[in-house]
A and B are shown apart, each in its own frame.
Chain A
Amino acid sequence: MTATPAARPRPPAVGYWIGFTVVVALLIVAPLVLPPFWQRFATEILIWGLLAMSSDILIGYTGMVSFGHSAFFGLGMYGAAAALLTVKPPSLWLGLLYGLVTAGGAAVFVAYFATRLRDIYFAISTLVFSQIFYVIIFTWTEVTGGENGLTFSQPRLTIPGLWSDRFTPVTFHWFVLAVVLLSYLLVRRITQSPFGMVLQSIRENEPRTRAIGYHVERYKIVAVMLSGLFAGLSGVLYALQNKFAAPDFVFFVVSGEVVIFNVMGGMGTLVGPFAGAAFFLLLREGLSRFLTEYYLIPLGVIFIIMIIFLPQGLLGFLRRRLNA
């Protein structure tokens, strides 16, 4: 590890921007040419990809594996639900705000406790925390609807003074795409900044980073909060798309899937998670046609094989290029 926190990385190559533009163009066009089922599918890939990207901040850049991202995701959902159910008329921006605040609040809580612990203890405690949230949500039926969750209607896209209209699947897709793009660019900026360099230094060699004088816990706390915020954002988007919030999404399985997206797609790349999500979801779609709910058996085996033989993930080979 030779990059010191003060070193400024070179701006990314032309190749990167070309690739970027191509992918974005494809994503913009996608909902116009795909049949309805695949339209939704594409939007969902973006949402899950965003969730996995938030996890990549921790796994790929800070070297902390979180098994609790379902909590932030779920709380984002419920936060948005709270706004959309309590404030009339339902406001999109309020939903976003509530969702982010809820998820962010949980992130602060988890961060405070969990970042003092290293590696495996951190992973276990994130798992435990997300289960705590799950149990609370599942049993606090009066507020959260318990097992059945909450349903609400999709708010309109309102830009005060300019625009107010219902979403169509196509415009919603573009909205999600815009949010995801902004998030990606923002997170990318952060990971390439001096702050991001410190995070990577923590991942490479925590004791040394501490010895140099960095207050590692503080950096970790901020990393967890950022991660939680973007995870919550993806939860809000999911709630907006599907118009419900359910405890299933806070359950560990979602956290597990997120980790799978990270590993399959490539950790430390920020775009890898999207590829991982797409890969997993497409495989799931395809396999479940033949195997119904048993798709997880071959999928699980593929996952294990990838860990052993392709630990850098699908896009891992691009990691250097993507991090300039």
Chain B
Amino acid sequence: MDQIIIQTLHGLVNGMVLAMVASGLTLIFGIMDIVNFAHGDLLMLGAFVGASVVGVTGNYWLALVVAAIVIAMLGALLQITTLRPLIGRDPLTTILATFGVSLVIQKYALWQWGPSVRRIGEPVPGEFTLFHLQYPWYRVATAVLAGLIIGGLWLFLKYGKYGIWIRATTQDRVMAQAMGIPVPLVYTAVFAIGSAMAAASGVLFGPFAGVTQTMGFDFTLRAFIVVVVGGMGNLGGSILASIFVSLLESYASIVVSPAQAVIVSFVVLVMTMLFRPTGLFVPTPK
């Protein structure tokens, strides 16, 4: 029983972090039709940048902001140099290009920070008691923060001038351009926002397990799965799917090893693609 409560908390917290990662990915896909293979690696870079900032200043919150901004700029640069030339080509080329970017980023991180694991200290100390179990406060804080950031993204998209630009571009790029909306700039901005969210997720996740060069791939894979299960381009769906999949994985890890628990998410993906390809949480397939 104890295990179930702990795993439920784990599942919810991990789910929120994953939801944040998936939001960035689904934003990029929904608006630009780009499957960003390097998304997890941007997360990883963000985590390293965050770890460095924490190492220098000791301030977690500063690290969060700096990482987000730095990686946002990197994301914009990447979009302009490698993705803009590919607009209009077969969408598979963008997967290949972002895959290439992923390789370069991983090795760069290795070169820049070395192979040892970096640590990000917990931003909020202490644990709280639920029934008779202890659970770290910072994990809860992380989940809340992730929720706030996602909420902020949603608000930004729904209200505000740029939110309208982004949504109009998603629905009808050509007409948006005809209305004077600078679509190339919108694309770059969206990619930057997605990258920033990935980076922030990396910093948020840092205290959980340490920062390594390979942490990105796992997130990319899980985020892909969640985005498909939640419905491509559907923000609310990918959030629900993130929590759903994370909970399932956490429960599964009670029975099997964590390395094997990850198969759960794979199975969910396969089932979804077979039976509800538009997404598990999408109301009715159109």
State yes or no: do A and B touch (Cβ within 8 Å): yes
* B64-107 with Cβ < 8 A to chain A: 82, 85-86, 89, 91-93, 95-97, 99-101, 103-104, 106-107
**Do the beta carbons of A124 and B224 come within 8 Å of each other?**
yes
Whether the pair A120, B217 counts as a contact (CB closer than 8 A) is no
A65 CB-CB contact with B under 8 Å: yes
Chain B contacts for A260, CB-based, 8 A: 100
1/0 per residue, CB under 8 A from B, across A58-82: the answer is: 0000000100000000000000000
Cα A121 to Cα B85 with chains together (Å): 24
Are B257 and A119 in touch, CB under 8 angstroms? no
Instruction: Give the distance in Å from the alpha carbon of A308 to the alpha carbon of B262 in the complex.
Output: 35
B270 and chain A: residue at smallest CB distance = A113
Neighbouring A residues of B259 by C-beta, 8 Å: 135, 138-139
| Interface 0/1 of A278-300, CB less than 8 Å to B | 00000000000000011011011
One of A13-21, A99-107, A125-133 contacting the partner: A125-133
Complex contact B92–A303 (CB within 8 A): no
> Once bound together, how far apart are the Cα atoms of A180 and B99, in whole Å?
28
A299 to nearest B CB, angstroms? 8
Q: Determine whether the beta carbon of A256 is less than 8 Å from that of B277.
A: no
* SS class, residues of chain B in contact with chain A: helix
Which residues in B have their C-beta under 8 angstroms from that of A8? none
B263 cross-chain contacts in A, Cβ below 8 A: 132, 135-136
Q: Is the CB of A307 within 8 A of B95?
A: no
A304 within 8 Å of B (CB atoms)? yes
Q: Are B96 and A300 in touch, CB under 8 angstroms?
A: no
Q: Determine if B274 is an interface residue (Cβ-Cβ < 8 Å).
A: yes
Q: Mark A121-156, 1 if CB is under 8 A from B, else 0.
A: 101110111011001101100000000000000000
A231 to B100, CA, bound (A): 22
**Chain A neighbourhood of B35, CB < 8 A:** 120, 124
Known: A121-B228, A131-B266, A293-B107. A308 touches B260 (CB 8 A): no
Inter-subunit contact B257/A139 (CB<8 Å): yes
How far does the Cβ of A52 sit from chain B's closest Cβ, in whole Å? 14
CB <8 Å contact, A300 and B101: yes
Tell yes or no: A117 within 8 A of B by CB. Answer: yes
Cα distance A135–B260 when bound, in Å?
A: 6
> Does more than half of chain A's interface fall in helix, strand or loop, or is it mixed?
helix
* Residues of chain B lying within 8 A (CB to CB) of residue A98: none
A296 in contact with B107 (CB, 8 Å): yes
Contact B260 A139 (CB under 8 A): yes
Task: Assess the A308–B86 pair: CB atoms within 8 A.
Answer: yes
| A259 within 8 Å of B (CB atoms) | yes
In the complex, the answer to whether B221 meets A259 with C-beta atoms within 8 Å is no
Chain A residues near B228: list those with CB within 8 A: 121, 124
Q: Determine whether A321 belongs to the interface, using a CB cutoff of 8 Å to chain B.
A: no
In the bound complex, do residue A256 and residue B269 qualify as a contact, i.e. CB atoms below 8 Å apart? no
Q: Is the CB of B99 within 8 A of A259?
A: yes
Chain B residues closer than 8 Å to A303, beta-carbon distance: 100, 103
Q: Are A125's CB and B270's CB within 8 A?
A: yes
Residues of the B chain whose Cβ atoms lie less than 8 Å from the Cβ of A127: 221, 224
Count A/B pairs, Cβ under 8 Å: 98
Query: Are B86 and A294 in contact, with the CB atoms below 8 A?
Result: no
At the interface, yes or no: B225 with Cβ under 8 Å from chain A?
Answer: yes
* Complex contact B257–A121 (CB within 8 A): no
Q: Chain A's nearest CB lies how many Å from the CB of B30? A: 13
| Shortest distance from the beta carbon of B105 to any chain A beta carbon, whole Å | 9
Determine if B92 and A132 form an interchain contact, defined as CB atoms under 8 angstroms apart.
no
Tell me whether A311 is interfacial, beta carbon within 8 Å: yes
Instruction: List chain A residues, Cβ under 8 A from B260.
Output: 135, 139
Q: Is B108 an interface residue (CB 8 A)?
A: yes
A125 lies within 8 A of B273 (CB): yes
Q: Is A208 an interface residue (CB 8 A)?
A: no
Partner of B110, one of A128, A135, A294: A294
> Does A218 sit within 8 A of B, measured CB to CB?
no
Interface assignment of A226: CB less than 8 Å from any CB of chain B: no
Residue ID in chain B nearest A121 by CB atoms: B273
B111 within 8 A of A: yes
Task: Write out the residue numbers on chain A whose beta carbons fall within 8 Å of the beta carbon of B277.
Answer: 117, 121
CB neighbors of A among B96-141 (8 A): 96-97, 99-101, 103-104, 106-108, 110-111
Query: For the complex, is A301 an interface residue (Cβ under 8 Å from B)?
Result: yes
Chain A residues whose CB sits within 8 angstroms of the CB of B97 once the complex forms: 304, 307-308
Q: Are B96 and A259 closer than 8 Å at their CB atoms?
A: yes
* Bound-complex Cα distance A300 to B273 (A): 31
Q: Which of B104, B111, B269, B270 lies in contact with A301, CB distance below 8 A?
A: B104
Knowing A121-B228, A135-B263 touch, does A308 contact B221 (C-beta < 8 A)?
no
CA distance A139 to B263 in the complex (A): 12
Nearest CB in chain B: distance from A118 CB, A: 10
A115 to chain B, nearest CB (A): 11
Cβ-closest chain B residue relative to A256? B99
A-B contact pairs, 15 of them (CB 8 A): A65-B92, A113-B270, A113-B274, A119-B92, A120-B95, A121-B273, A135-B260, A139-B260, A293-B110, A297-B104, A297-B107, A299-B103, A301-B104, A304-B82, A307-B100
> Which 6 residue pairs spanning A and B have beta carbons closest together?
A300-B104, A304-B100, A300-B103, A296-B107, A303-B100, A128-B266
What 10 additional pairs, Cβ within 8 angstroms, besides A127-B221, A296-B106, A307-B93? A65-B92, A113-B274, A117-B273, A119-B91, A120-B35, A120-B92, A139-B259, A139-B260, A296-B107, A303-B103
